[in-house]
């Protein structure tokens, strides 16, 4: 995490509103579903601390996509 600021080179928007993007990466060798079980409660707890004029929106969750794809394999096997 860096707290040094540069001159803004672009503005990020989500549904027409200014936003902040947060990305997280999983360490190699860990199970993505187990990692999701750890971070989802943290995100939900954090959402409750935000002011009413700020909304936390998950736009992409790789773990959810992996779980959906792997869930479909049971029908193939």
The predicted-structure confidence for 35-61, as pLDDT tens digits, reads as follows 899 999 999 999 999 999 999 998 888
Average pLDDT taken over every residue of the chain = 84
Query: How distant, in Å, are the alpha carbons of 17, 36, 42, 43, 62 from that of 67?
Result: 30, 10, 19, 19, 9
> Residue 39 is inside which H or E element, if any?
helix 32-47
DSSP 18: E
Read off the pTM.
0.67
Cβ neighbours of 10 (radius 10 Å): 5
Query: What pLDDT sits at residue 26?
Result: 84
Q: How confident is the model at residue 21 (pLDDT cuts 50, 70, 90)?
A: confident
Q: How confident is the model at residue 12 (pLDDT cuts 50, 70, 90)?
A: confident
């Amino acid at each position: 995490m860096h707290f040094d600021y540069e001159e803004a080179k672009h503005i990020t928007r989500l549904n027409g509103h200014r936003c902040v993007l947060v990305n997280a990466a999983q360490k190699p060798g860990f199970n993505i579903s187990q990692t999701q079980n750890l971070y989802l409660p943290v995100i939900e707890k954090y959402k409750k601390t935000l002011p009413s004029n700020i909304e936390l929106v998950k736009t992409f969750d790789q773990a959810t996509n992996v779980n959906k794809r792997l869930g479909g394999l049971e029908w193939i096997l």
